[in-house]
Amino acid sequence: MDWKKTTRKILFFVAMLLVLGMFTFLHGFFDSASAPFEYADDAGTADGEQTAPSGTPLTAEPPAVPDEALTSAGNEEYVIIRMSPADVFRGNLLLINHDHRFEIPAAQDFISISEEKTMSYSATGDDLLLAESAIESLNNMMDDFLEVTGRDNVTIISAYRGYERQQEILSEYIKLMGSAGALRLAAPPGYSEHHAGLAVDLGYYSNGVLRTFQGTGVYAWFKQNSHNHGFILRFPGEKSEITKTAYEPWHFRYVGQPHAFFINQNDWCLEEYIDVIMRHTRDEPFTAIFNECIYEVYFTEDAEIFLPFDCEFDISGNNINGFIVTVKQ
């Protein structure tokens, strides 16, 4: 017997078995890795773990990206948004008035109006600042006014103000009309929504002279159309008893959409709107239609907010005690 030839045949046979075994293992591994994720019945896996659409198991402390994770209730998935106490004082729906003081945050998302504005209007100073969330809507509103009227003489005379500047304005009014009258036109430091960078005061130029904006004639366009751009006339004359502020035809406040539309549609001031929303819950939201879409708006004091998975939403503090949640269905 040729032992060398026999030994070579045996070694060759063993090597083939090893190669075949390795091929089978790798084939099964890659088939498993490339298989699409499938939802388990009742939103659970075989061992009872809840899973996100990506197949990542949820834990008691879901990873925050950013501060959100997917959870399940029955067959529905929800995104959890975790809010901090400071978030009560952030957002477009802050209610800042004589009853609710606003603390100016250390970190501010303000931008220069003069650097970001379009050519359809002017600003009376290079130091005028506005919340970043409002500048695009302000530009669009001013562009539309120019297109409709042919006038580019409207100017922004005031936007963000710090405490010191607010005190200066109040003191000027007190000299002119006394404390009681002054407080009808200027809020004390801390109680002006200019502190949030969400309000603008308008003026206009006529024959090169800066005029007080009365909102009459062609300029009535702003009262009639500002809501189409997320702004509201903040202090209407007929709402003075509620706002505790005299009529200011020049003062427009950004609240964003769909809220500006709902406020205008129901002839509310901001105090009335916030009061309505704060009486609605997640289970019984304020529901209305804007641009052929259904919106649900409600109030919660909870720091953990559950939102339907894969929906558009916005969360704003109310500057009082909680959060206003807006969900676009």
When pLDDT is averaged across residues 185-207 and rounded to a whole number, the result is 95
Between 201 and 9, residue with greater pLDDT? 201
pLDDT band at 316 (very low <50, low <70, confident <90, very high): very high
Q: Report the SS3 class of residue 62.
A: coil
Residue 185 counted as domain residue: yes
The tens digit of pLDDT for each residue in 80-137 reads 999 999 999 999 999 999 999 998 887 778 999 999 999 999 999 899 999 999 999 9
d(CA 78, CA 81): 10
Q: Report the SS3 class of residue 297.
A: strand
Q: Which residue has the tokens 């388990």?
A: 40
Residue 24 pLDDT exceeds 60? no
Residue 251 pLDDT exceeds 90? yes
CB-count burial class (<10 Å; 0-12, 13-18, 19+) for 40: middle
Q: Which residues are catalytic?
A: 248
d(CA 205, CA 208): 6
pLDDT band at 14 (very low <50, low <70, confident <90, very high): very low
Query: How far from 221 is each of 20, 159, 231, 239, 240, CA to CA, in Å?
Result: 80, 20, 13, 20, 21
- CATH number of the domain that residue 216 is part of: 3.30.1380.10
The pLDDT value recorded for residue 284 is 97
Residue 165 counted as domain residue: yes
Of 40-44, 209-213, 300-304, the one with minimum mean pLDDT is: 40-44
The pLDDT value recorded for residue 8 is 52
φ, ψ for residue 88, nearest 5 deg:
-60, -25
Residue 48 counted as domain residue: no
Residue (of 258, 296, 254) closest to 91 by Cα position: 254
Beta strands, E only, 38-158:
68-73, 76-82, 110-112, 122-123, 129-131, 154-158
Residue 73 pLDDT exceeds 70? no
φ, ψ for residue 73, nearest 5 deg:
-140, 110
The tens digit of pLDDT for each residue in 270-313 reads 999 999 999 999 999 999 999 999 999 999 999 999 998 888 99
The tens digit of pLDDT for each residue in 126-183 reads 999 999 999 999 999 999 999 999 999 999 999 999 999 999 999 999 999 998 888 8
Residue 173 counted as domain residue: yes
When pLDDT is averaged across residues 31-48 and rounded to a whole number, the result is 32
**122-123 and 129-131 strand pairing:** unpaired
Q: Which residue has the tokens 């006339």?
A: 233
Query: How far from 156 is each of 88, 103, 108, 112, 256, CA to CA, in Å?
Result: 28, 24, 20, 12, 19
The total number of structural domains in the chain stands at 1
Range of the domain at 165: 97-266
Residue 107 counted as domain residue: yes
Q: Which two tokens stand for residue 323?
A: 């959060």
Cβ proximity of 282 and 306 under 8 Å: yes
Cβ proximity of 248 and 199 under 8 Å: no
Residue 268 pLDDT exceeds 80? yes
Cis amide leading into 63 (omega within 30): no
Residue 184 counted as domain residue: yes
When pLDDT is averaged across residues 16-33 and rounded to a whole number, the result is 42
